[in-house]
Structure 1
Amino acid sequence: MSDAIISLRGVTRAFAGGVFGLRDVTLEIARGELVAIVGPSGSGKSTMLNIIGTLDRASSGTVEIDGHDVARLKDSDLSALRARRIGFVFQHFHLSPGVSALDNVADGLLYTGVGRAERRRRAEAALDQVGLAHRLGHRPHQMSGGEKQRTAIARALARRPALLLADEPTGALDSSSGEGVVQLLLELHRSGTAVVVITHDRDLAARLDRQASMRDGELVDDRRRTA
């Protein structure tokens, strides 16, 4: 198996009206790496997230995720790849209102082929891992912003992903809650998961092992943190 969890070669994403989300991007991220994709609004970060997360397809170039050539996969195969190998954490949590933390996490496993009892067992274990064992029955309106984001991380953890994509994971949080989320992401990385954080926060990016900088849809810099 290739050491790369993400391999983009000459990837372009064009939209109607001659607008480019990505322009000839080549990027490789190894299994277990901890990487920030940084840049201002409109730089191509969100398009990059969608391409890496198989939520969108490239207009040209080659995209390989976890050893799979995305262009060769049917939509059903892409859905299976996302469900089983990729975890997502978003800035605004995307939790179902009126649904307990336990069921929000367990429902994230609906398309993995895991039975209901195992989904709930894995959900409870994931919530315990992020420090929310005492919040299993709480609904989103009963939780703080930090607790909501930890629930979202637990939902990703329950999939046991090879790759975690975090889109501005601290953007909606105060500094204390944000630090707790960062520590969870670092812990996940130490356990062997590749963690890619999409952010405009240079301070957060500087704490990660590698920074890939975007501007106007192009990858303009790619550097590793010096000790």
Structure 2
Amino acid sequence: MTLYPAIDLKDGKAVRLTKGLMDSAKIYSNEPYELVKKFEDMGAEWVHLVDLNGAFAGEPKNLEQIIKIRQNCNVKLELGGGIRDEATIQKMLEIGIDRVILGSIAVKDSQFVKDMAAKYPIAVGIDAIDGYVAVEGWGEVSEMKATDLAREFANAGVEAIICTDVGKDGTLSGVNVKFTVDIADASGVSTIASGGVKDESDIRALIDTNKVDGVIIGKAYYEGTLDLPKMFKLLD
């Protein structure tokens, strides 16, 4: 089980949202790279970055901070938020991002994602509200079931699927284990759980499924309900 500490970037700051609502943003750091360094010191192998402004704008908007993180930190970085064309993928990889997350574009043009996965390190972000895929920074809900979208990427060469239950995201109400397993079963791709993680019991529940490869840790760390250094030691 790989733990992915998460940093959401909004207006150059590290924040966390509740249920994806931008006006719920709580600022945790004015210097996001310092947080990444802290995660690195704890033993993180990966850090999960989301450009929130980019997710709504359809193009990256926190580049200055992303570059600063890369220049100051040695962990692997995966980045999502507003990445919707090949030129942007290439640009993110050139500045040192290790894996690019494609979300909204996966719903609108799955073939594009498959083509990109054949050439670059790509993860697909599947975000769901009541089982249906949410797009455009979670501002819209599509008519596609999350499991149907996951099935679309079986044997497509993507490195991972990151699945988020939007209704639980940032709520500390417990991860949706069944949803995560359903995505893993549908896709057969390495699956990373996201949304609602509260404490150690959530991580153990995911491990017990033997079907989930990673979990994104956000508010549980920031609000102190999960001892992240302890978890890194346990899983080392």
Query: Do the structures match in fold with TM over 0.5?
Result: no
The TM tier, using the shorter chain, reads: 0.3 to 0.5
- TM-score of the pair, normalised by structure 1: 0.39
Q: Which structure is larger by alpha-carbon Rg, 1 or 2? A: 1
Larger RCO (CA within 8 A; separation ≥ 6) = 1
